[in-house]
């Protein structure tokens, strides 16, 4: 007889607790929290990444690196070796390799993005144009990557990461 009585008492205590929770009362005296039904994550969520498809006008870095840089006289004066992006993802500087043979002995210089114009020569091949000469690029300060030593005999670069050598 004790067992059914004990079971009934426990059942009533459980119902009373459940009733207090659904009425919005909190034991800590705070405001009532109404539960919100959870929705499963779907591809329609605004929190998902945005995917982009390439268009024919887009330029990809793998095609830009190594592109020839020509001047107004259509002379090849260097190649795009790298580029620097700012914190917003915009091009801050183009790194051009000038001189050397097959990348050996090349000097790297950083040019402002406004002076380098990118276009397509045959609808597919990218080409960079700049209004300067090979001698002017050779005379420019060498680009130094942060954390790299400047070439021996060269003056140290300023903390802003101005020109010196590529790794």
What is the chain's length? 167
Confidence check: pLDDT of 7 > 60: no
Widest distance between CA atoms in the chain: 108
How far apart CA 96 and CA 109 sit, in angstroms, is: 5
pLDDT of residue 55: 85
Can you give the pTM of this predicted structure?
A: 0.58
Question: Are 59 and 118 within 8 A, CB to CB?
Answer: yes
Structure tokens at 151: 């070439």
First to last CA, the chain: 87
Structure tokens at 133: 């000469």
pLDDT of residue 129: 94
Q: How confident is the model at residue 121 (pLDDT cuts 50, 70, 90)?
A: confident
What backbone torsions phi and psi does residue 13 show, to the nearest 5 degrees?
-65, -40
Mean pLDDT for 112-132 is: 88
- Whose CA is closest to 64, among 123, 137, 120, 110? 120
pLDDT of residue 84: 94
């Amino acid at each position: 007889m004790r067992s059914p009585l004990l079971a009934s008492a426990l059942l009533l205590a459980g119902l009373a607790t459940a009733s207090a929770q659904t009425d919005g009362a909190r034991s800590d005296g705070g405001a009532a929290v109404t539960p919100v039904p959870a929705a499963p994550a779907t591809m329609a969520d605004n929190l998902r990444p945005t995917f982009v498809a390439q268009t024919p006008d887009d330029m990809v870095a793998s095609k830009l690196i190594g592109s020839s840089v020509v001047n107004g006289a259509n002379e090849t004066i260097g190649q795009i070796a790298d580029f620097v992006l700012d914190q917003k993802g915009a091009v801050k500087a183009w790194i051009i390799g000038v001189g050397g043979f097959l990348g050996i002995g090349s000097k790297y210089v950083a040019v402002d993005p406004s002076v380098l114009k990118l276009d397509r020569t045959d609808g597919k091949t990218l080409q960079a144009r700049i209004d300067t000469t090979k001698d002017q690029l050779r005379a420019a300060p060498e680009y130094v990557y942060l954390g790299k030593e400047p070439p021996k005999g060269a003056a140290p670069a300023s903390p802003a990461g101005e020109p010196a050598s590529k790794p």
